[in-house]
Structure 1
């Protein structure tokens, strides 16, 4: 665990003070840097705030962060277009203590150390901005809580070091705390921080302040608490199904919802098509004429969540400068601007089949109206808002993923990289108002927490604690109604509602790093990640397309060990009290 002690901290200091003052060459950089970062004469706390902002850069950013792949390409929702990409290690039993694609152990302990340094030194700064110092301390504690959560959802219980700051090279000998102990610590930190945080992330006294958007406000702290308690109540961490844990999780989500009702928070579901991703003409092939206008609005509403720099659905974003990273990594390969490394994320047939018909029925249900010759017709508006399929409009033409088409030139089964392996590409997060020949930079704000999650967190926890009461229906239906999908049928049992909520999380949050953790906390990864994942093969003959479901890849998940990541080998070696996770 000791390698996090100095890595990144030096870079942080250099960023803050480079060009400001000459560093002394007579003392270590870490010691010298503290004098300039936490300056006893800096009444505005300029360098201290820069230090805090640097800690924010350690928040999770879900866009193509696993070797240019989205994490969910290691689930049953997608695969990468290259057979050898490491994200597949999570779905082909390829990880080990020395080979962890999503190894953020050092990164998060590095952030914890930065927070501890900040809290230990911020009182030196004579800040003359009323309330700011307490708020900065509270934000730092939330960032530390977030770092611990990122650790325990991967590894289970981890060492909790409190406020201690280890010296460089100091031997670490700390045993792991339990998952419950870690959770208790995180909750205590969040509860202590909340009174000092802004009521909403982006406002002060009700006035919008863009410089506070993306920082931990009280709502973000409550959202983290909601997710933590939901995970704590789930089967992976609650094997005896202690119902009181579900009740606690429901109460945490309900507290956010009640604060919205009381107008303390401005969070809401994005219910306006603020960006016109599609016109009626472009979506004509997908729905009957009578439903076309409303369908187009609903697709645009959903996509607008992810294409604006800020909106009231996103509770905590990962802030980044405008960029074209998502497009350059995921463009269908037949577009002029695409490169040999485009088209990375290939959704599976399993995910596509999960999207209901617009009448609310699954495609396999009697009376659904599903037609296998037109597999994308009359489907949940979130499908074209999430997945690029054959015939969907993109930039200046319709996507061609039939064998020999522009976006699948070699065809099914003939390549191991360079084009889609499933017949599908990623649509979600992609901005459609760029040129078809070159990339432009646009906002790509990753939603760490958004209000739709709070509603579904509540629905899941309340259903487990008390059954499918009216409040559960209301929470789920609000999300469905936002995109024009009908409400759930009345009279569902608790088990039936559980399935509906899990379905809703899958289609609403696809590629937002929920499915990866949901299938683990529900302990269903052994069911959905063993066997075969599928794609679609489309063929064009004499102007007629036919579609056939085909095998895409085989997958494996060892239930005896893979529900938790292995502790990185170097951490086990450097900390003699570190116990490895079972069977690793």
Structure 2
């Protein structure tokens, strides 16, 4: 099919799909009565619709379509994206998308990998531009909505929300592909020139930052009025958090000084600039200074208790047993469920220190024959291991045990199961539905962003120590006689960097950070270039023996720091440059 014919077909499909999204999201009879073929731009953005009913449905459809498309944590072919990092592997011994990502078994011709979201993101960007360009014609009566702070109007906040969702789509593209094509507010029409070049990495970063600066004062502030209706909406804190995150990525080695393709402006900056770290630290500190968010005292409840003070932005999910059904330990029968799809690695387990905060390789209290005793409490919050209580039962993840019996059934490949995100089922007899949302930004990340950037710019100053100690105190690490929670004093910048990176790994585990962190730090070649391990546990005469064993061979080459631009985009657009190493 020729390029122009493909573009025309795409645009027709885009219009139909947007109309279908609006129609399907509505259950009201007055809207269902409108035939699908009559759902036009004029119908959605109706000047006489004082409640903005159809425009709001359109905006809500944008929320529903934003990344991640599926709110399941197991969104990559039934697996976590983290199963393509060094924190976990897929328990599925068959070929799957997460394993292919970990091995680099994908190409520009890949049509099925669900993390290559080029088309989905540009669909979202187009929808946002349609909304931004047409919402002003709707004469919304503000008095019919929750009262807004002085100076805000309903349309102003809605438009700012659309701009955030558009920027979020650009960020998801940028971290996967490098510089991408910025559309501004344009909605391309038939006959227009669609052969547009990619914008530079720097231009993309600047655009997103400028957008967040422009809209933050047009958004609701936390805590929002009527949380049951508004808690899912973009807030000022969310805009600030996206700005802080993208500036952290821009300051990191992959973009800032260690460009994989020399001075290629599409894959990073041409040279290092320490001030990028300063900007990232400043952006994160601005959120801390709001004093509206805080660390939750019980970290286990962050993902199961709505409207808690740590959540900055989330995608609505609902009451379900999805996490438990997909990742709960195998061995409790079909009535209870649990597919055990995620197998945390031994590398991940060993990253957790002792409960004194000392690394296990330097602590005299670590017992390799009782490896889970006196460990950082966060280990038990993230991982289910042999002997841990679950569903009123001590888990048996030794070879031949109830939860690792062998055979062809899907079960752990490392002797570990994922615990994070699940409800409190240690003493329950079966799973029940848990109220949960898909958290995209939370306060712990903000703190970690801040101390990473601050340490890189200023070294391990007192503010870095203070924030680290607050995280470890919340985690349940023992304060110690010096009250430092196991954090050594007088660390060098490099030593503190290693400590911060490890804390980030533990605190944000399985939240789709590790996969990208090892890339932006430009460590993926080292981390994913060697085998990953599990623990083989054998039982004999009632005694357990623990042996570290290889379980998976990932792979990494430098071109994998960015995904390939889909070949269909390169073929139909002569100005679209492919990423290095994917030609």
Q: How far off its partner does 1:541 sit?
A: 1.5
Are the equivalent residues in 1 in contact too, given 2:392–2:426 (CA < 8 A)?
A: no
Asked if 1:380 corresponds to 2:369, the answer is no
Equivalent in 11, 32, 35 of residue 20 of structure 2? 11
Q: How far off its partner does 1:16 sit?
A: 5.0
- In structure 2, the CA distance between the partners of 1:464 and 1:542, relative to structure 1 (3 Å rule), is same
TM-score by length of 1: 0.88
Q: How far off its partner does 1:203 sit?
A: 1.9
Q: How far off its partner does 1:437 sit?
A: 6.9
**1:367-395 per-position Cα deviation (integer Å, ceiling 9, x unaligned):** 34100110100111110000111111111
Q: How far off its partner does 1:302 sit?
A: 2.0
Asked if 1:247 corresponds to 2:278, the answer is yes
Asked if 1:515 corresponds to 2:514, the answer is yes
Number of the residue aligned with 2:295? 269
Q: How far off its partner does 1:341 sit?
A: 7.6
| Unmatched runs of 5 consecutive residues or more in structure 1 | 272-300
**Separation in 2 of the partners of 1:81 and 1:340?**
16
Number of the residue aligned with 1:98? 109
SS in 1 for 2:256: coil
**1:251-270 per-position Cα deviation (integer Å, ceiling 9, x unaligned):** 0001111111xxxx2x1000
Asked if 1:217 corresponds to 2:235, the answer is yes
Equivalent in 105, 115, 120 of residue 133 of structure 2? 120
TM-score by length of 2: 0.88
Number of the residue aligned with 1:111? 124
**Separation in 1 of the partners of 2:412 and 2:459?**
42
**Separation in 2 of the partners of 1:36 and 1:368?**
71
- In structure 2, the CA distance between the partners of 1:448 and 1:224, relative to structure 1 (3 Å rule), is same
Q: How far off its partner does 1:62 sit?
A: 6.2
SS in 1 for 2:89: strand
Number of the residue aligned with 1:287? none
- In structure 2, the CA distance between the partners of 1:134 and 1:448, relative to structure 1 (3 Å rule), is same
Equivalent in 460, 465, 470 of residue 457 of structure 2? 465
Alignment of 1:99-248 (within 5 A): 99=110, 100-129=113-142, 131-167=153-189, 172-200=194-222, 202-204=223-225, 209-239=227-257, 240-248=271-279
Are the equivalent residues in 2 in contact too, given 1:357–1:368 (CA < 8 A)?
A: no
Number of the residue aligned with 1:275? none
Equivalent pairs, count: 537
Q: How far off its partner does 1:170 sit?
A: 6.3
Number of the residue aligned with 1:562? 560
Number of the residue aligned with 1:85? 96
- In structure 2, the CA distance between the partners of 1:436 and 1:519, relative to structure 1 (3 Å rule), is same
- In structure 2, the CA distance between the partners of 1:522 and 1:106, relative to structure 1 (3 Å rule), is same
SS in 2 for 1:326: helix
Number of the residue aligned with 1:361? 358
Alignment of 1:21-36 (within 5 A): 29=37, 32-36=39-43
Equivalent in 433, 436, 461 of residue 444 of structure 1? 436
Are the equivalent residues in 1 in contact too, given 2:25–2:61 (CA < 8 A)?
A: no
Q: How far off its partner does 1:434 sit?
A: 9.3
Alignment of 1:519-538 (within 5 A): 519-538=518-537
Q: How far off its partner does 1:158 sit?
A: 0.5
SS in 2 for 1:319: strand
Q: How far off its partner does 1:24 sit?
A: 8.0
**Separation in 2 of the partners of 1:169 and 1:335?**
60
**Separation in 1 of the partners of 2:170 and 2:557?**
25
Are the equivalent residues in 2 in contact too, given 1:71–1:513 (CA < 8 A)?
A: yes
Equivalent in 54, 75, 86 of residue 65 of structure 1? 75
Number of the residue aligned with 2:330? 333
Number of the residue aligned with 1:52? 59
**Separation in 2 of the partners of 1:573 and 1:163?**
25
Q: How far off its partner does 1:36 sit?
A: 2.4
Number of the residue aligned with 1:403? 399
SS in 1 for 2:307: coil
- In structure 2, the CA distance between the partners of 1:400 and 1:534, relative to structure 1 (3 Å rule), is same
**Separation in 1 of the partners of 2:488 and 2:578?**
46
**Separation in 1 of the partners of 2:335 and 2:569?**
40
Number of the residue aligned with 2:267? none
**Separation in 2 of the partners of 1:198 and 1:551?**
50
**Separation in 1 of the partners of 2:76 and 2:383?**
20
Number of the residue aligned with 2:551? 552
Q: How far off its partner does 1:576 sit?
A: 2.5
